[in-house]
Structure 1
Amino acid sequence: MDPLDELDAQVARLQVVAGELRSARGKPVLDGNQVELIEDGPTLLAAYEEMQRSCREQIRALDRGPYSAPPASQQELELERLRDGLVYRAIYGFEVFESEEVMAVLPELRAAGEASRVLPQMPMKMVLGDDNMALVALTKRAPAECHLLIRSTGLLDGLIATFEMLWGLAVPMPELEASGDVAALRAPDRDILMLLAGGATDDMISRRLRISPRTTQRRVRALMDALGAQTRFQAGLQAARRRWI
């Protein structure tokens, strides 16, 4: 099964569990209370902080829009844990390039050691703490409509495997300037890749998408670097193979 389809199926199963938890308030749904329903921001924030502080090896995250700037305490906590040697791996949806708030903090996080990759479509938000815990958002609205805190090994195994498959499909985040130069990355990237695959020149892309020639060149270069492509045609081909277009 396609990893994105598998992830959708896992979310559907977790939504069923969330419904059971709502119906059985105060009663265990799974042995050992391995799944907890979180429906308010402060509890979610506390759970995420606890996860980061308790992890010994790595944090793995799927992040999608709508984005908001992480609280200063969360940014500082990630930087602190990165200095401690904790590994952070994050996969972002393409819409991250449209968020000035997130793009303003990513350069510092990446400089500190966060490994970041991108996919054109990210169906959900999820954070994995080592192989022991997961926070999974069950709605596409942000930031704290409904989350599950999962400690069940059985449920976690599928989420971990899916993350690793998506990590293999994603490509490294283009290099970001420390100044937070978002303009070079806030592009209709899928449209650019489709035009590249069709053999369009920079001038054709610029006129078709109504963006400046200089911005077009910078965006094309960033996408080629992200895809590891030596030529424009290779960039379009790689994007198609990875289902970016």
Structure 2
Amino acid sequence: MTLNLDDLSGYVERDLDADLARWFSDRSPVTVPEETRPVAPMLDRLPPTGAAALTAFDRRVRSGRMPQFLDVYDWSYGFDFAANGCGILDADYQTELTDDDVYAIGADGCHQPVPTSPSTTNLFPQHGSAGEGEALMLAEVGLDETCELVYRAALQRPVWSLEQLRDAVDQPAAEVDAAVRRLMEIGLLRRPHAEQIRPVNPAVGFAPLLSYAEARLARQTRAVELTRAAVAEMSASFRASPALLHDVELLDDRDAAWLCVEEIAAKATTSIQCLAAAGGPPGLETSTDYDPAYRLAEFAAARGIRVQLILLDSIVNDPRLLAGARRVHDNGVEVRTTPTLPVWTFVVDDRYVVIAVDPADNQRGVIRVSHPGLVAAAADLFGRHWPSAVPIEQQASPPAGELTRQQRHLLQLLAAGAKDESVARQFSVSARTVRRMIADLADRIGATSRFELGVQAVRLGWLDDTPQPAPGPEPFHG
């Protein structure tokens, strides 16, 4: 804090001595060691008001009436800078000075010198302003952008007037003035005279600010670690359902099914293999929004779990589903597609399996099975689909004149006698979409009926490897 004569006059007039004695009644008075040098040699280097202020302050300290209320334990006005490893330079930042040339009112608990207001000295050499990409991030120590601009400008030379700083910083004068006051409050600027503003060396000025920021960061880090430990403890005790007492467990409602899917992502230890069949993931209200499931897959992959996901080819018809699949692939999930899948299935750590209760309605819950034989069967099912599925990064339009895998499979299902609704469930699309796909194929070859479409498909070789017809209506019923 800079003291001047007016400050000390007000100090006496307000009888702050009595206030200090009352506020700090349990503190012992300041004791100045006998070997402390007088301030007299310094006075002729100060302007009259500064010399008067320092003299008055010195009298107050030596009076024996001032309580020890400051964090100052060394009242040696001639502080032993050299013995404490502090170099001293004059205001030109080149001329070296001695202890006899500089006086300080003491030292704080960190052995940092607290200088008085000599107009021609500076305790440390000035650092240049930070270059491009070297921002001090003053916001982290409680300063705004204007304060940073003002402080950087002030570092360019040792002495400024307020008007000069206003001209140097492209900000409104009122904001510059407020920034100067703030910088002086926290010790980054000082005002030895009414017309002078001096920057404090960053190594000195930022030391207490950074210490505070580091302490705050340490507290926050500790809080995060405690929170992490608490989450781990809660996760260990949480289950989506009662503990497995047998090899099979039925979770027969939507909420329990989704909690089970979340638990897979949170507790898997090595691998998750998923057949994403028709309809939305078990437990989700909609079949058109996979984002919650995609996020769980990304979460598990980020934990180091190998996640293999087989989706239906039909996701290419929904830009959002396709974009989500590509995103999770970019985030470490192995994603492939195939024309059809039997039922939503999760094989977890080769240790247990979660299967949708009803392939036609994923809201009805899931079954969790840990029997080794059933787990092996589910793993084998996944293993049969994975090699023939197409990696998502290889999804591309077929050559001109050729069918997509989905179109070819549609024809095979129709040839096997599947109804539109059955095809729609397998493709995870609406029956209207299936009818549109059939109409598109018919238009492509000029067929006027489904029967003609079937005949032409056979002639063109589109029905190679057609599955055996299922009992029911005749193929390509009209």
Offset from partner CA, 1:36-91 (integer Å, 9 cap, x none): 1122111111111112211111110001222431354x433322221222111111
Residue of structure 2 equivalent to 1:135: 354
Residue of structure 2 equivalent to 1:60: 273
Distance of 1:105 and 1:176 partners within structure 2: 14
Distance of 2:386 and 2:465 partners within structure 1: 15
Residue of structure 2 equivalent to 1:40: 253
Whether the 8 Å contact between 2:326 and 2:392 is mirrored in structure 1 is no
Residue of structure 1 equivalent to 2:390: 171
Residue number among 188, 191, 197 corresponding to 2:407 in the alignment? 191
2:305 maps to 1:86: yes
Given the superposition, is the C-alpha separation of residues 58 and 175 from structure 1 closer, same or farther in structure 2, using an over 3 Å criterion? same
Offset from partner CA, 1:198-219 (integer Å, 9 cap, x none): xxxxxxx896179xxxxxxxxx
Whether the 8 Å contact between 2:357 and 2:366 is mirrored in structure 1 is yes
Distance of 1:206 and 1:119 partners within structure 2: 23
SS at match of 2:378: helix
Name the aligned partner's letter for residue 191 of structure 1: Q
Larger proportion of helix? 1
Residue of structure 1 equivalent to 2:290: 70
Unaligned runs of 5+ in 2: 1-243, 281-286, 397-402, 412-440, 447-460, 468-478
Superposed CA RMSD:
3.4
Cα deviation, residue 146, structure 1: 3.6
SS at match of 1:121: coil
Distance of 2:409 and 2:445 partners within structure 1: 12
Whether the 8 Å contact between 1:134 and 1:150 is mirrored in structure 2 is yes
Offset from partner CA, 1:224-244 (integer Å, 9 cap, x none): xxxxxxxxxxxx99x95798x
Distance of 1:162 and 1:188 partners within structure 2: 24
Q: Determine which structure has greater relative contact order: mean sequence separation of CA pairs < 8 Å that are 6+ residues apart, divided by chain length.
A: 1
Q: Normalised by the size of structure 2, how large is the TM-score? A: 0.31
Whether the 8 Å contact between 2:291 and 2:324 is mirrored in structure 1 is no
Percent identity of equivalent pairs: 18
Residue of structure 1 equivalent to 2:374: 155
Larger Rg: 2
Q: Normalised by the size of structure 1, how large is the TM-score? A: 0.57
Given the superposition, is the C-alpha separation of residues 242 and 107 from structure 1 closer, same or farther in structure 2, using an over 3 Å criterion? farther
2:318 maps to 1:99: yes
Given the superposition, is the C-alpha separation of residues 209 and 150 from structure 1 closer, same or farther in structure 2, using an over 3 Å criterion? farther
Distance of 1:208 and 1:65 partners within structure 2: 27
